[in-house]
Amino acid sequence: MSNIKIWVDADACPVAIKEVLFRTADRLKIQTTLVANQSIGIPKSDFIHRVTVHDGADIADNRIVELMKAGDVVVTGDIPLAARVVEKDGIAIGTRGELYDDASIHSRLASRNLMEQLRAAGMETSGPKPFNQKDVQSFSNQLDRLLTKLMKKK
């Protein structure tokens, strides 16, 4: 069994990404925990768990940051959470396969904040493009590369 742990910001995580994570957890014997403020269905497995938190802004994010350790992998589409993970020496990967590190997270956070300010000022901005099979493949490939690299280190 691997020392690597995967934490999933599960409330907004696409089903297809959860399925990739479930297969990966069992195949590589990696403890994978889904954190959400609602009950999330998970398959029966020794490696897949869930933590249900109270409803509220950032409660699941706070719980992930509290439970994770340096070197753990966190799957999230939430840029502020990804920044907190990187700050705590974790590895954040977006649901479309983006790998967030110290070099990339600051510019992503700045872009996100700028877009939020523009929307608050009344400007209409386009949302993210629809999630598709190419995104699932990008995520799967990035996760595989990342875990292969991490498992070689151990």
Per-residue confidence at 148, pLDDT binned at 50, 70, 90?
very high
Q: Average pLDDT, whole number, for the chain?
A: 89
Q: What share of the chain is helix, strand, coil (3-state, %, to 5)?
A: 45, 15, 40
Residue 50, classed as helix, strand or coil, is: strand
Fold of 5-153: Rossmann fold (3.40.50)
Q: Do residues 16 and 130 make contact, with C-beta atoms less than 8 angstroms apart?
A: no
Query: Kind and range of the H or E element at 18?
Result: helix 15-28
Domain boundaries of the chain, sorted by first residue: 5-153
* pLDDT, tens digit, 9 for 90 and up, residues 35-46: 999 989 999 999
The pLDDT value given to residue 113: 60
State pTM to two decimals.
Answer: 0.85
Over the stretch 80-127, which tens digit does the pLDDT of each residue have?
A: 899 999 999 999 999 999 999 877 776 666 666 666 776 777 777 666
Ramachandran area for residue 67 (φ above 0: left; ψ -120 to 50: alpha; else beta): alpha
Residue 51 has pLDDT above 80, yes or no: yes
| Percent of the chain whose pLDDT exceeds 90 | 66
Residues paired with residue 52 on neighbouring β-strands, in sequence order: 36
* Residue type, position 26, single letter: D
